Amino acid sequence: MTNSRRRKGLTVASALLGGVLVLSACSSGGDDASAGDGGKDTSQAKVDEAAAEKTSEAQIKITPKDGSDNASINNSAAVTVSKGTLTDVSMTTADGTAVDGEISADKTSWKPSVQLERSTTYKLAAEAKDADGRVAHENASFTTVSPTNSFIGTFTPDDGTTVGVGMPVSINFDKAITNKAAVQKGITVSSTSGQEVVCHWFNANRMDCRPDDYWQENSTVTLKLALDGVEGADGVYGVQQKTVTFKTGRNQVTYVDAKTKQMKVTQDGKTVKTIPISAGSPDNKTYEGQMVISEKFKETRMNGATVGFTDDDGKGEYDIKDVPHAMRLTTSGTFVHGNYWGADSIFGSVNTSHGCVGLNDTKGANDPDTEGAWFYNNSIVGDVVVVQNTGDKTVAPDNGLNGWNMSWADWKAGSAV
């Protein structure tokens, strides 16, 4: 055989042998390799199966979702888990300050134990285990609603207080409300007396709520603010979620008669005391109408310049730095207060004030036996003072807490729902 033939023979043999080796390599799986997988390599499938066996079944959910903005300061930052239990949850602000929170007794949920701040970015990291002890992790970051994009309502009276039967619920919003119906639907006022309560909008920033007549004495009134997430104006959302309760005391209504210059104090319809007074002078008449005591001061300063009473030099016509036993009736500056600078003879005989109702009193507000002290000590915020026969106009319903000077029909007409 020639060398060329020998080389050809070796080449053919090598090719055949190589083919056998290749076939041997592909068939190394034996019978399993031909069981319907078309010759597919099963090594990756086994890796995937092994990884699946190591993955935790615990499913962690964080709300709001990662990247949210304008998030609620009340209902955000909730963590829940299914098919497992929470083992650790941490919440921090962007600067690393920790936020207190608590995992539930059954270890399936977590929430912060403090109210969140507005315009703040928070980060949440949660860890859970499934029944086999396999660990799962979840992280999220969100930003709460900013002051620019949110509104709050400042309300009166305060939670837990006892007030007079004339006290309305008055809410002043820090942003103009254009979606009045939506906001009003998020506010409910009810009383154990069962009286119907209607809310009235004086303007875009103020809403008061009251019954047809004064509250019944010794009842409990509940204000519920469910404003979280309510859109009060375009792009402006509520953040409050709060329940407030207050009680009404005895039914005290005081009648001031500028003509007789006497003040009659009644409780539950019975006169308990008559006090001589000095009301507004003929040039500075006192408003007429039903007024509600909104503030009390044992002593306060009264400067005429703050309410428009100035002399030719622009100074206040009066500036008394220690007016005793003062109780506010209007925002514009009408008070019932003690008077120590007037002669005793004016009370019950002549009207001399710049529009307030004055009672005989002493300087320093320390004499409990004066008429001014008696009325102050026996009055509470929310008591009604009805001023009559002054010759002046009726006080505006929104000048103070004086919506009682509006008819029930007109009051209901100011409701947005």
Instruction: Report, as residue numbers or ranges, the catalytic residues.
Output: 337, 356
Three-state DSSP class for residue 345: helix
Q: What's the Rg (C-alpha) of the chain?
A: 39
CA 372 to chain CA centroid, nearest Å: 37
Q: Assess contact for 187 and 225: CB atoms under 8 A.
A: yes
Residue 154 CA to residue 206 CA, distance in Å, equals: 10
The DSSP annotation for 125-191 comes to: EEEEE-TT--EEEEEEEEEBPPGGGEE-EEEESPTT-EE-TT--EEEEESS--S-HHHHHHTEEEEE
Amino acid found at 357? V
CA 109 to chain CA centroid, nearest Å: 25
Token pair of 274 as six digits: 């008559």
**Strand pairing report for 78-82 and 59-63:** antiparallel
Q: Assess contact for 218 and 251: CB atoms under 8 A.
A: no
Q: Assess contact for 133 and 56: CB atoms under 8 A.
A: no
Q: Assess contact for 74 and 64: CB atoms under 8 A.
A: no
Three-state DSSP class for residue 93: strand
Three-state DSSP class for residue 114: coil
**DSSP 8-state symbol, 116:** P
CA 141 to chain CA centroid, nearest Å: 24
CA angle 195, 200, 202 (to 5 degrees): 150
The length of the chain is 417
